[in-house]
Amino acid sequence: MAGMIDLDPALQQWLGATPWESPLPGWTRTGAAARLKALATAHNLTLTAYEPPEEEWVCVRAHDATAIASTLFPLAFVTVGLDEVVCRWLPGLTVLPLASMVAADYRASPELLRATLLRFGWTNDFSSEGFCVSDLVVESVEGALTAW
């Protein structure tokens, strides 16, 4: 599909890492959540509900901007208008563009998804050739496959 953002280059750097067993240097679940909470407080953003350990993503929002970051990998999807702030507050973070939480703007190799963001696999409704950030959030929850 034209216009898809290929996540393979971003995910490739974490191939072989298992941050759910041993956190990546400088990026832990609690540390990531605390940093995003500090970002939200400093910039008057809303921190959405985050329920570890099931949830692996933290989302901060303003009325017209969103950043959603993985707590396992230093990776965030960020809208224009918030990207510069996120990069300043979270140096070393891999920032990818976010136009919409529900538009199927992304693709990735199934092998890389299974080795990183979707280690539990995914439901039949998910396609690695066209998915949205909301799909990643839902599919990354352990037990998502059995919930269907």
Q: What percent of the chain has pLDDT over 70?
A: 95
CA distances from 34 to 38, 65, 107, 120 (A): 6, 19, 29, 25
Judge if pTM exceeds 0.85.
Answer: yes
Reply yes or no on whether the pLDDT at 145 is more than 60: no
The DSSP H or E segment spanning 40 is helix 29-42
> Among candidates 148, 130, 147, 129, which has minimal Cα distance to 54?
147
**∠ CA 45-47-52, rounded to 5°:** 160
- pLDDT by residue (tens digit) across 18-42? 999 999 999 999 999 999 999 999 9
- pLDDT by residue (tens digit) across 43-82? 999 998 788 888 899 999 988 899 999 999 999 999 998 9
Q: Tokens at residue 113, please?
A: 């998804």
